[in-house]
Structures are given as C-alpha cells and as structure tokens.
Amino acid sequence: MPDTDLLIIGAGPTGLFAAYYAGFRGFRVAVVDSLPELGGQITAMYPEKQILDVAGFPTVKGRDLVEGLVSQAATASPEYFLDRTATTLTHHGDTVVVGLDDGTEITAKAVLITAGIGKFSPRPLPAGDGWLGRGMEFFVPSFAPYAGKDVVIVGGGDSAFDWALHLEPVAKSVTLVHRRDAFRAHQRTVDQVTSSSVRIVTKAEVTALRGNGVLESVDITVGDETTTYPAQAVVAALGFIADLGPLQQWGIEVEKRHVVVGPSMRTSLERVFAAGDITEYPGKVRLIAVGFGEAATAVNNAAVAIDPSAHVFPGHSSEGT
C-alpha cells in the first residue's frame, strides 16, 4: 500500500504542475492517470498544436509544453501510476485511501483531482463505420502521414480548424466539412483557415467513405445534392463524450459533469481538492493558464491539511525552500 502526502488524479498540464508545486512545498507526491502517457489530452490528441495562451511563451507546441512540465515535475520525484483508473475513495481518520482498478490502494493525507474532462471517447462519424485505422482517424498526433494526400476534416471546432491550418501546407488538399455555417473555433484560427487554400463546405455532411480496402473518396451532401471528393484521409473532429466515471460515486458535489469547488479549491469532501478543467465555480474559465493558478492554490491550501503547522502562503519560489 503506497503512502504519500498528496495524491494527484490526472497527469495533464494542471496535474503535472501541481506535482512540481507539491515538491516545492516539500511533500511526497503520487500521480494517477488512466492514460498510458503523461500529458493528458495534449499528448493524446494535440501534441503538434501550437498553444498561444501560456504565460511566458508567445507560442509553444503541445508536446514541448508537456516535456517542460514533466521535467519540472521531476524535481518532486513523483511516483506515477499510469494506465490505471482511480475507482474508489474512502476516508480513514486523517487519511484518504484511493483504490485503483488494478487493485492497488494509495493512502494519502490529501487528494487533488486534476482529471480534466475525465475519461473521454471521440464522437463517431456515422459514415465512417468500419474505416477507423483504414483512412479515418479521430486525432492527428503527427502531420507527416498526411503529406501529399487529399484530406477531409469533419467538424467546426478548435481541433478541426487547428488541424486544417497545420495540414494545409503538408497535404495535397484539405477540405473542411461542417454541418452548420457557424463555427465554434477561435475566430483568429477561423480567419486564418478562411484565407488559406482550405476548401470549406458548410451546411454539409460526409455521407459515405469509398474505396476498395483503401480510402479513395468521400461523398459530401449539401441539401439534396451529393458530390464526391477525392480523399485518402478523413479526420473526424466531432468532439468527445466525457465521463467522470467512478468519481461520481464518491459522494462529491458535481454540477454539469464538473466538480464544485470554493475559492481554496476545496471540494465537498474533506481533504479532497480539485483544479483545472474539471472544476466549477462562478466565473470559471477553462484555460491551461487558469489551471496552473488553480493547481498552486489547491496545493498551498492542501498543505495545511497535510501538515497543520504549515502555512497556506509558501513564500516565493525565488527564495528557495
């Protein structure tokens, strides 16, 4: 039964920064994540994405941000439990015991939930049934496989437009298909894609993928008219279905699939804190930059639960420990 001061559930950017900060406060730290790699959604879906709203970086590629966070967290010597899901949480006196799906139990003096949107699965493309891995994908972890191909991207959110923008100079052609003529993506990215060579087809659906074992074309339907476009690759960027999973059975207060916290990042459960995209409170803004600040707030307030003689304010990092 591993023991630690702070157990962090979620190894995305917020969780990794929290691990560093726990080490800065002098605490032992363990990190659990259901994914097999560190970095959360960024590693799984957006390693090539240019991130524009992290302090100190005019722009930083997703994989580079994760690499920096992992190096920073390493100063705390965290113990990682990857490819494992936290399933149970119980209180035993002044400790919290979290059970994992492999039977491991971790006893901690405090728990910090930084699980983002929880476990997630991509929304399916009905016409793409049977094509996954044979020309259709849900993510674009690398641009190289799309070089010289006709690529069709389905969706109207940030992922769809980010991938369209980055694949445009690599692919032979890029066509973006969206069922509406309004988009959910950031306007700056929409403007960049609109002024590029990307073909945008709105009020449209991809109704068929065609090919003899290998994807060759897609049918795109607008109203009553269907047009066949060449395509050797389709990216279904239709968003994700989020699931908080076992966490919802812990008795924690949840609102619209998010964990309710107060100003100190405390949840409704004793010794359990939360930070990052999973949290909910009035005025909440879901950005990586906000998650970093919440992580520091959560760890500093958890410090008092871990060590009653500790102070919430740790002093400045430039002053050392």
Strands 258-260, 279-280: pairing kind: parallel
Would the annotation count 318 as a binding residue? yes
How many CA atoms lie less than 13 Å away from 88 in the CB half-sphere? Answer: 13
Phi and psi dihedrals of 201, rounded to 5?
-120, 115
Q: Which two tokens stand for residue 221?
A: 């339907």
Would the annotation count 33 as a binding residue? yes
Distance CA 260, CA 115 (A): 13
- For the beta sheet containing 217-222, the strands, ordered from the edge strand earlier in sequence to the opposite edge, are 204-210, 217-222, 225-230
Would the annotation count 229 as a binding residue? no
Distance CA 136, CA 156 (A): 17
Would the annotation count 120 as a binding residue? yes
Let me know: does 250 contact 269? Beta carbons within 8 Å.
yes
Would the annotation count 277 as a binding residue? yes
Let me know: does 118 contact 243? Beta carbons within 8 Å.
yes
Would the annotation count 64 as a binding residue? no
Distance CA 217, CA 246 (A): 41
Let me know: does 77 contact 65? Beta carbons within 8 Å.
no
Distance CA 321, CA 317 (A): 7
Specify whether the backbone of 13 is left (phi greater than 0), alpha (psi in -120 to 50) or beta: alpha
Phi and psi dihedrals of 235, rounded to 5?
-115, 115
Exposure of 86 by Cβ count < 10 A (0-12 exposed, 13-18 middle, 19+ buried)? buried
Binding site for FAD: residue ranges?
Answer: 14, 33, 41, 46, 86, 120, 277, 318
Binding site: residue ranges?
Answer: 14, 33, 41, 46, 86, 120, 277, 318
